[in-house]
Amino acid sequence: MSKTTLLFLAILLSIPSSRSQNLDPADVRISLDQALPIAITKAKADFPDLEKYILYSVHPRVLKGDAEGLFWEVLWEEKAFPHYKQLQVRVYMSNGSTKCIRTEKGTFQKEHDKYIRP
């Protein structure tokens, strides 16, 4: 291997992943144990058809431009196959406020829904 290739590989491997995210404990005022009951209560209030959905995932997120900052994203996915519909509840870590969103795959995704192997 040439020196250029080795140098390129060394630089490439030394760059930290852009997908990694560090949560500072000082930024988390609402823990996951507190956020999950808040999200379930809010989902039951805002989505009367919640029994048609199953709890799919819970994870911390932050979106650029979102003034409220870090939040716990709680996702419910439609029980019926193929799971085109989702319910999202965001519980913000700073103050416990919530935001509910109902999403559905678009026409293109429905027509071209293929299993992608990892």
> What domains are there in the chain, each with its CATH number?
26-111 (3.10.450)
Least confident range from 10-24, 50-64, 87-101: namely 10-24
- Please give the sequence-ordered ranges of beta strands (E in DSSP) within the chain, or none if there are none: 53-61, 71-78, 85-92, 98-104
DSSP-derived secondary structure letter, 28: -
Do residues 39 and 57 touch, judged by C-beta distance below 8 A? no
Per-residue model confidence as pLDDT tens digits over 83-107: 788 999 999 999 999 999 998 887 6
Do residues 74 and 87 touch, judged by C-beta distance below 8 A? no
Per the omega criterion (within 30 degrees of 0), is the bond before 82 cis? yes
Average pLDDT, the chain: 83
**Which one, of 51, 100, 109, 57, lies nearest residue 80 by Cα?**
51
Per-residue model confidence as pLDDT tens digits over 64-87: 888 888 999 999 999 988 778 899
Residue with tokens 């060394």: 10
